[in-house]
Amino acid sequence: MALFDIETSITRVDEGVWETQLSANWNIGANSNGGYAMAPVLRALRELTGQPDPISVTTHYLRPVQGGGVGRIEATLIRSGRTMATARGTLSQDGRERLVVIAAFGDVEAVVGIGPEMGPKPPELPAVEDCIPRGKLNQGVEVPLLSRIDCVLHPDCVEAGERAVVEGWIRFSDGADPTTLSLPCFVDMFPPSLTALVGNTGWVPTIELTIHIRRAPKPGWLRARFECDDLHNGRMMETGALWDSSGAIVARSRQIGLLLKDPIAQEVSGGGGK
- What DSSP element (H or E) covers 96? strand 96-106
Contact 190, 260 (CB under 8 A): no
The CATH architecture annotation of domain 3-108+126-267 reads Beta Barrel (2.40)
Q: What is the pLDDT of residue 233?
A: 93
Q: Could you tell me the pLDDT band of residue 264, with boundaries at 50, 70 and 90?
A: very low
- What DSSP element (H or E) covers 197? helix 195-198
Task: Report which of 189, 193, 178 is spatially closest to residue 250, judged by C-alpha positions.
Answer: 178
d(CA 113, CA 115): 7
Q: Which of 100-104, 190-194, 199-203, 226-230 has the lowest mean pLDDT?
A: 199-203
DSSP assignment string, 117-186: ---PPPPP---GGGSEEGGGS--SS--GGGGTEEEEE-GGGSS--SS-EEEEEEEETT-PPP-TTTHHHH
Look up the pTM and report it. 0.93
Residues 145-191 pLDDT 10s: 999 999 999 999 887 777 899 999 999 999 999 999 999 999 999 98
What's the average model confidence in pLDDT over 38-55?
98
Q: What is the pLDDT of residue 266?
A: 43
